[in-house]
Chains A and B, each alone.
Chain A
Amino acid sequence: MPNKLTIKICTYSDIIFYGLKDILEKLDAKIEYIKDINFFWNICPQTTNLIIIDSIFLFDKSFADKLKKSSYKNLFCLITSYPPMEIQSYFVDSFLLTDDSNSIISKIQNFLTSYTKEDSSETNNLLSEREIEVLKLLVSGLQNKEIADKLNISINTVLTHRKNITQKTGIKSVSGLTIYAVLKKIITLKDTKN
């Protein structure tokens, strides 16, 4: 996570952006303006604390669908026009144009405190990055040799990683590890349906 708070505001409107930016001055954050929705997917969610999206963008169906699938957990909606769908599943929270500065600030602050907590509990502190890589390939059905080839390491190294994964988690079988990976959000439930 970045040291300085980063907030990105996605809107067509200068009035909205500069108005929001002014209100959010108190938070001492780096505030960026995303005017072109095509650049939205270049945003790195891991380095952005909060993304505020103008509801007008939701009228672009392909954008809306992609947004829903993205499972970003740091999205707020600024409702400028009544959105064409139920937005609860897309956004953590929302603002109205009639909201006052104080309620906007407190909504954001509340989110930021709970978001950092949730973020660290979802972080897998148990397995190393390399072990997670091996785990992902293993539960996708690859054999040890294929994993070794894919990661450019020796089979012995793969076996060592597997041994460590089993020792740390207490789980040995591939099907057991698949469940572990889903529960720890290393892979999604959809990934298992192949």
Chain B
Amino acid sequence: MKNQLKIEKGTKLADIINFYPFIITQLEHLNISLPVEEKNISDVANEHKISSDFLIFLFEYIINNQIIDTYVPKSDEIDIILLYLKNNHNFYTKYMFPHIEKLISRAFESSQQEEFLLIKKFFVEYNKEVLEHFDYENSIVFPYISELYRSLDSNIQIKSNYSVEEYKNHHDDIEEKLNDLKNLLIKYLPSSIEPEFRKKLLFNLYQLEKDLDIHSYLEDKILIPLVENLEEKYKYAK
């Protein structure tokens, strides 16, 4: 059995980072930055006005691959969830995707092999699909959710006719193409391709895949049920 970390309110951030360094990216998405001194999960939660339960839930999923069934998100956690997802989107758009595209372009420059043009085209198309999805979320879904949440507080009528049902249907499987690319790199792209390039690209794709997995999980299992709940309350309040 793989080692698991005990994650509780009193667990120090430094210990978490030492155990699973890649958590640093996720902390950035939550606007939690290093150095962390002796702070534990409780301290950080208070500092950033989020619940320890949410942090524990998130870390358990990412680090221990555990799903805490008993976690029920509260309405006032919507802001932190939306913040996380928006930062997530920015990270992909501004850093990950351009970085990977550059890797592919550079590999083609040095080797002049035509296979790279195909891979680049494939990745550009994939990129476009994902960005459209993010754009849809940023410009339609998230504002709707924010508005819904605030309207319950202040009894203001919601302007849009949007419902979370539409969002559920729009949530396509963008992981499929990412998986295809990985398999092509691992199984079929010929050995004449520079190994250093293949390795770097694969590692980047694995990180992207892990990030997207957390992203989808938060949206499907946390955000959508929360919003459905809010919509019910809204109808009831009217």
Contact = CB atoms under 8 A, between A and B. Distances in A.
Contact of B184 (A171, A189, A192): A171
Contacts of B126: 175
Interface stretch (B10-18, B23-31, B45-53, B187-195): B187-195
A183 B189 CA distance: 7
Interface residues of A, number: 16
B34 interface: no
**SS class, residues of chain A in contact with chain B:** helix
Given A189-B114, A189-B118, A192-B118, A179 B177 contact: no
B220 interface: no
Given A171-B180, A171-B183, A183-B190, A176 B122 contact: yes
A175 B114 contact: no
Contacts of A169: 183, 187-188
B213 interface: no
B97 to A, nearest CB: 16
B179 A179 contact: no
Contacts of A184: 188
Given A179-B119, A189-B118, A173 B176 contact: yes
A173 B183 contact: no
Given A183-B188, A183-B190, A184-B188, A172 B118 contact: no
B212 interface: no
A172 B176 contact: yes
A47 B188 CA distance: 28
Interface in A144-194: 169-173, 175-180, 182-184, 189, 192
Nearest to B173: A172
Given A183-B190, A184-B188, A172 B114 contact: no
24 contacts: A169-B183, A169-B187, A172-B179, A172-B180, A173-B176, A175-B122, A175-B125, A175-B126, A175-B177, A175-B180, A176-B122, A176-B180, A176-B183, A177-B180, A178-B118, A179-B118, A179-B119, A179-B188, A182-B115, A182-B118, A183-B188, A183-B190, A189-B114, A189-B118
